[in-house]
Amino acid sequence: MTLSLWGGFCLALTLFGYYSSKALYRRHQKVWFAPIVIAPLIILCVVMTLNIPLADYFKYTHWLAALLAPATIAFAVPIYRERALIKQYPITLSVGVLVGLLLGIGSSWLVGYFTSMPAELSNSLMVRSVSTPFAIVATSSFGGVPELTAMLVLITGVMGMLICEPLFKVAKIRSSVAKGVALGASAHGAGAAKASEIGRQEGVIASLTMIFTGIAMVIMAPAFAYIIN
């Protein structure tokens, strides 16, 4: 196996882009400096301007993507740690997860129905409201493409972060549980990050909702795909 220079450069670029945007966000706590916005943007720009072939980009960075599976398993730890909170609001949480999931799939299906997007794009939309590691495994049930799915999940997360506060204000949503569940179910990790800025309770509830919505999506995706088709 020969060492690939471009491959090494791309791995370094990805790590540098990610950790520097994280450091930047620590200094400037603005949504536009959030790593979820800046990091992919920097890396995409460099790869596109240098015209690096994707095969070279993936030579070593695919090992980073392989960490999505252990990260999924790691979600067991926060569930275990917050078991007291889960026992406190079992109905609210499970109904919230279910409603969020159904609205997420339903609204995405409507987008595909009312616009004339090609199937690979509208199919990839279906899982957009759940966290990436779950979305990437669930998307194949709907006939989605992993790469497009990853991008659409990311955009959905950023959108949720941006629109949540004005929407909560207009709709007079005040309870921390409602805010947490709504952010976790509609904007996954980005929503959970935003929720923990609003408050600790909101953040924990959003993280739990995000995890449960992801698991429910993976389990129920084949059934949903069957119903839709």
Partner 1 sequence: MAAKEGSMALYMLSKQSQKMPLFLQRFLQIVLFCAFAWACQVIAKDINSPLPGSVIGLGVLLALLSLKWVPEQTVSMGAAWLIGDLLLFFIPPVVAVIKYQALLEHFGLVLISSMLVASTIVLLGTAFTVDRLFKLERKHRLKVQLSQGSNQ
Report, in Å, the least distance between residue 82 CB and partner 1.
Answer: 12
Cβ–Cβ under 8 Å, residues 144 and 127: yes
Straight-line distance from the first to the last Cα atom of the chain, in angstroms, rounded to the nearest whole number: 45
Tell me the C-alpha distance between 94 and 97, whole Å.
Answer: 5
Q: Tabulate helix, strand, coil % of the chain (nearest 5).
A: 85, 0, 15
Q: Which of 109, 113, 157 is nearest to 131 (CA)?
A: 157
Residues 1-20 binding partner 1 (CB under 8 A) are 14-15, 17-18
Shortest Å distance, C-beta 36 to partner 1? 6
Residue of 225, 157, 229 lying closest to 189 (CA atoms)? 157
Which two three-digit tokens encode residue 158? 């950023």
Choosing from 43, 127, 130, 195, the residue that interacts with partner 1 (CB under 8 A) is 43
CB 181 within 8 A of CB 192: no
From the list 1-9, 52-60, 194-202, the region that binds partner 1 by CB under 8 A is 52-60
Which is nearer to partner 1, 5 or 53 (by Cβ)?
A: 53
Site for partner 1 in 127-186 (CB under 8 A): 128-129, 131-134, 136-137, 145-156, 159-160, 163-164, 167-168, 171, 173-175, 177-179, 181-183, 185-186
Q: Does 31 bind partner 1 (CB under 8 A)?
A: no
CB of 196 to partner 1, least distance (A): 12
Q: Please give the residues from 69 up to 128 whose contact with partner 1 meets the rule CB under 8 A.
A: 69-81, 83, 89, 91-92, 95-96, 99-100, 103-104, 107-108, 110-111, 114-115, 117-118, 120-121, 125, 128
> Can you tell me the distance from the alpha carbon of 203 to that of 196, in angstroms, rounded to the nearest whole number?
4
